[in-house]
């Protein structure tokens, strides 16, 4: 096996249950590969992080990591009429999104982010005001 550099801003790392790690295309929708995905993104605007949508990962928790810049992670209320919870992530910080918890992002400015999760069953839902 030949080792070569992997551009993490164009590819993702897929970590398979048998221990295999492979560079592959980033998948933002649901995947049934059974692999955990480590994906890194340079984002400039809220549109780059689908801020107008809620996202949910029913099969696993997600680590949302802010490498540079700053981001706000919002959690959908669990009770009708409840308020959104917000966690601010400055550069070098991460938060764990609980399995099955609806969440979304908003940027404080251009940022580099990393997401680590099992994409199986991932759902997106348009946010309504």
Q: What is the pLDDT of residues 15-39, one digit of tens each?
A: 999 999 999 888 776 677 789 999 9
Listed in sequence order, the residues at least 6 apart from 128 whose beta carbon sits closer than 8 Å to its beta carbon are: none
For residue 7, with 0-12 CB atoms within 10 Å meaning exposed, 13-18 middle and 19 or more buried, which class applies? exposed
What confidence category does residue 2 fall into, taking pLDDT thresholds of 50, 70 and 90?
A: low
∠ CA 121-29-116, rounded to 5°: 80
pLDDT band at 86 (very low <50, low <70, confident <90, very high): very high
Beta-sheet strands, E only, within the chain: 12-15, 21-24, 36-43, 53-56, 62-68, 70-75, 85-90, 93-97, 103-107, 111-118, 123-126
φ, ψ (nearest 5 deg) of residue 49? -115, 25
Task: Report the pLDDT value the prediction gives residue 1, as an integer from 0 to 100.
Answer: 57
Residue 68 CA to its chain's centroid (Å): 15
pTM of the model: 0.90
Pairwise CA distance, residues 24 & 21, whole Å: 10
Task: Kindly calculate the radius of gyration of the chain based on its CA atoms and give it in whole angstroms.
Answer: 15
Q: What is the pLDDT of residue 25?
A: 85
């Amino acid at each position: 096996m030949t080792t070569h550099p992997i551009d993490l801003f164009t590819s993702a790392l897929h970590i398979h249950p048998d221990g295999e790690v492979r560079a592959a295309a980033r998948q933002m929708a649901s995947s049934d590969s059974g692999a955990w995905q480590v994906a890194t993104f340079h984002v400039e605007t809220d549109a780059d992080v689908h801020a107008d949508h809620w996202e949910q990962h029913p099969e696993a928790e997600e680590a949302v990591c802010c490498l540079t810049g700053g981001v706000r992670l919002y959690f959908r209320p669990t009770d009708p009429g409840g308020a959104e919870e917000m966690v601010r992530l400055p550069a070098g910080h991460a938060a764990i999104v609980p399995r099955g918890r609806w969440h979304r992002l908003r940027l404080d400015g251009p940022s580099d982010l990393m997401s680590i999760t099992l994409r199986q069953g991932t759902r997106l839902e348009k946010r309504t005001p």
